Structure 1
Amino acid sequence: MLQPGDLATGTVPFGHRPALIVVDMSYGFTSVESPLGGAFDSQVDAMAQLASCFRQRGWPIYFSTVVYHDEHTSSVFRQHLPVLNMLRPDTHWVQIDQRLAVQPHEVIVEKTVPSAFFNTGLAELLAAAAVDSVVIGGLTTSGCVRATVVDALQYNFPTWVIPETCGERNLQAHAANLHDMAAKYAEVVALPQALARLAALK
């Protein structure tokens, strides 16, 4: 919904072969036991519904997880947020939440910064799979979801953000960033509407 100061937005046609990008629904973010996590059970459940829709249609799903293999990668980001150092490859925290039931053919991309596109090869994977649009959700709304949405736009993909699948520890930041993404970068589509529109794609 437009607010004072927002620019008018146009209608962007969605594609016929979308991909689902699940941003950082690893235990480091989905578990209340993690300092990075929160009470995001409803978001995980909503994402599982969305993933089921994609699997039924044979559309690709890509998962991202933050992993640090050494002490030097993305050092500025980690100095700013030292808690990120817990995301090491030998830990439970970097594994995708089992409730999302990652399938053997589905791709998990490792990343070290907010965007799932940056230095991961994700754009090339989408091109190789003939993807023409993307649906994005995950954790957290104001950080890695937003960064991934901005990059999806910059790679020229029509993009939907599903708010029920997005979680944020700061609810004001959650609402503000969903509004900002809708105002500038993507279409924010409620889960029931998204499922109906996806089911109608030929």
Structure 2
Amino acid sequence: MTDSASAKRWWVELFESRDGGGYNPGHWSARNSLGRRPALLVIDVVRSFTGDEGQSLEEAVAAFPTACGPSAWDAIPRIKQVIDLATAEDWPVVYTTALPGGASLYGGTVKSELSGLGSPMDLPGAQDIPDAIKPPENALVFAKPKASAFFDTALVSYLIRRGVDSLVVTGATTSGCVRATVVDGHSHGYPTFVVEDACFDRSRLSHGVNLFEMNAKYADVVTASELIERVQR
């Protein structure tokens, strides 16, 4: 993504006010190299975060308190595009889900569990990946105990064994598990790419603010079509 393209993003426009004064084009002018061996991470695209296709956000949340509703189903076709790209290019593909019972073993993933709302890890559908993005053969699928795919998991060992030198991140939620994974991926030294239209959140504002901040600090934010074009070049 070029600087001029970055300036046109709708989530950049969120900061075109006094609040954006602390940021300048230098924050996102440095661009990562995709590397020779990327890995695709599909973070927590499970029924408890998506709800059922065709539901409104209100209907999805009534059935699944953590659901994102239509924004999830808008993103799923783009997630499938990126999975197909990764499969065609023979990239390692990793899916994460919630770890059942993880809160009782390791503590909660979010502070709302302290108020008796229960753990997102134990909700119905927290391990159910939609058929539309069924893991391809040889994909790694594992349950994680916290927001980040890196925290107390064997992900780094897997990436090293597979010779991975950069990360492409998709999934849910942009402000939660995606951002936590991106920060940890960057902290482990991996050039990291977030596919904006292959991630989702229940709030468009939260989705946009977190895309902006990840792009400024930890990752390159690209669209699925931009990623495909970069690989084809």
- Per the normalisation by structure 1, the TM-score is 0.90
Choose from 99, 108, 117 the match for 2:132: 99
Q: 1:69 to 1:104 in 2, by over 3 A?
A: farther
Aligned to 2:21, the other structure's residue is in SS state coil
Deviation at 1:178, TM superposition (A): 0.4
Native 8 Å contact 1:36 1:83 kept in 2: no
Q: Which residue identity is paired with 1:125?
A: Y
Q: 1:89-143 CA deviation, whole Å, 9 max, x = no partner?
A: 9x54312222112124111121121101111111111111001101001110000
Structure 1 equivalent of residue 67 of structure 2: 37
Aligned to 1:108, the other structure's residue is in SS state strand
Aligned to 1:35, the other structure's residue is in SS state coil
Instruction: Give the 5 Å matches for 1:58-97.
Output: 58-69=90-101, 72-77=104-109, 80-81=112-113, 82-83=116-117, 85=119, 87-88=121-122, 91-97=124-130
Higher-helix-fraction structure: 2
Identity %: 29
Q: Which residue identity is paired with 1:67?
A: L
Q: 1:45 to 1:128 in 2, by over 3 A?
A: same
Gaps of 5+ in 1: none
Q: Which moved more, 1:145-154 or 1:67-76?
A: 67-76
Equivalent-residue separation in structure 2 for 1:122 and 1:59 (angstroms): 15
How many residue pairs end up in the alignment? 199
Instruction: Give the 5 Å matches for 1:1-202.
Output: 1=7, 3-6=20-23, 8-9=26-27, 10-31=30-51, 32=60, 33-39=63-69, 40-69=72-101, 72-77=104-109, 80-81=112-113, 82-83=116-117, 85=119, 87-88=121-122, 91-200=124-233
- Tell me which structure has the larger Cα radius of gyration: 2
Q: Which residue identity is paired with 1:139?
A: A
Equivalent-residue separation in structure 1 for 2:111 and 2:99 (angstroms): 15
Q: Which residue identity is paired with 1:15?
A: G
Native 8 Å contact 1:26 1:93 kept in 2: yes
Q: Which residue identity is paired with 2:109?
A: F
Aligned to 1:25, the other structure's residue is in SS state coil
Q: Which moved more, 1:69-78 or 1:103-112?
A: 69-78
Native 8 Å contact 2:44 2:98 kept in 1: yes
* Structure 1 stretches of 4+ moved >4 Å: none
Aligned to 2:141, the other structure's residue is in SS state strand
Aligned to 1:72, the other structure's residue is in SS state helix
Q: Which residue identity is paired with 1:87?
A: M
Q: 1:71 to 1:146 in 2, by over 3 A?
A: closer
- Per the normalisation by structure 2, the TM-score is 0.79
Native 8 Å contact 1:88 1:94 kept in 2: no
